[in-house]
Amino acid sequence: MKELILEARHINKQFHDPVTVQVLHDITFTVNKGEFVSVIGKSGCGKSTLLYILSTMDTDYQGELLIDNELMTGRSDTELARIRNEKIGFVFQFHYLLNEFTVLQNVMLPGMKLAKYSQQEIEHRALEKLKMLGIDNLAQKKAYKISGGEKQRVAIARALINDPLILMGDEPTGNLDSLNSEMVFDIFKDLTDVHNHTLLIVTHDQSFAERSGRIIEMEDGRIIRH
């Protein structure tokens, strides 16, 4: 049976800058457990705006967002921050690693915000994630000493530390050369196919999108294919 992870119901969004512009129109779709979904569309069509809402970082919209069958809309920032840390992993175009920290410390950081694990457990989990991504040999290296492709893999390990229900990405291969993009794609494919993770990735990369499990295509703030 399909397990619903995310549900967007009639989401609308305006910016007031200084005139009011509607950038998202009646966005409605669902994501099920284990799906690898790519969001595509021309620059300016509203992909990042939508991702900010779906990841609960932007609460200024109309409509409803459900994650894990729970309504996110209308919750306080504190509550959303807790839910985000527990249930959503995020990978950006830029890795945002702390350069002076080791790879292992970087991966452990989001785990330390959750009270449910001891320091030892978090370290064990972080090493497991690094191993899964084939970079456990880098654990003790300072983040600034590793390559761009390796940094993005560390960022993925960090996003997975709390075993999120859904991993979201905003152009996670946007800064990488083709070889490293391919590696990140293979990791994502493996995460869904082997580990049953759920992925929602905004991308400009047509070939990436076509090889993911499903495409949501946007145009002028609307979904035109999903």
Ligand X SMILES: Nc1ncnc2c1ncn2[C@@H]1O[C@H](COP(=O)(O)OP(=O)(O)OP(=O)(O)O)[C@@H](O)[C@H]1O
Residue ranges binding ligand X (CB under 6 A): 15, 17, 23, 41, 43-49
The smaller minimum CB distance to ligand X, of residues 24 and 165, is found at 24
In the complex, the smallest distance separating the C-beta of residue 202 from ligand X, rounded to whole angstroms, is 7
Cβ proximity of 91 and 169 under 8 Å: yes
Token code pair at residue 151: 């940094």
- Quote the DSSP letter at residue 193: H
In the complex, the smallest distance separating the C-beta of residue 218 from ligand X, rounded to whole angstroms, is 7
Nearest CA to 126 out of 142, 103, 100 is that of 103
- What is the rounded distance in angstroms from the CA atom of residue 62 to the CA atom of residue 41? 22
Helix, strand, or coil (residue 217): strand
- Quote the DSSP letter at residue 66: E
The smaller minimum CB distance to ligand X, of residues 41 and 111, is found at 41
Nearest CA to 203 out of 46, 24, 47 is that of 47
The smaller minimum CB distance to ligand X, of residues 15 and 144, is found at 15
The smaller minimum CB distance to ligand X, of residues 126 and 184, is found at 184
- What is the rounded distance in angstroms from the CA atom of residue 9 to the CA atom of residue 172? 26
In the complex, the smallest distance separating the C-beta of residue 143 from ligand X, rounded to whole angstroms, is 26
Angle, CA of 166, 153 and 150, to the nearest 5°: 170
- What is the rounded distance in angstroms from the CA atom of residue 132 to the CA atom of residue 72? 31
In the complex, the smallest distance separating the C-beta of residue 1 from ligand X, rounded to whole angstroms, is 33
In the complex, the smallest distance separating the C-beta of residue 48 from ligand X, rounded to whole angstroms, is 3
Could you tell me which residues are beta bridge partners of residue 86?
Answer: none
In the complex, the smallest distance separating the C-beta of residue 121 from ligand X, rounded to whole angstroms, is 37
Nearest CA to 151 out of 143, 140, 159, 139 is that of 143
Cβ proximity of 125 and 111 under 8 Å: yes
The smaller minimum CB distance to ligand X, of residues 44 and 148, is found at 44
The smaller minimum CB distance to ligand X, of residues 13 and 151, is found at 13
The smaller minimum CB distance to ligand X, of residues 23 and 80, is found at 23
In the complex, the smallest distance separating the C-beta of residue 23 from ligand X, rounded to whole angstroms, is 4
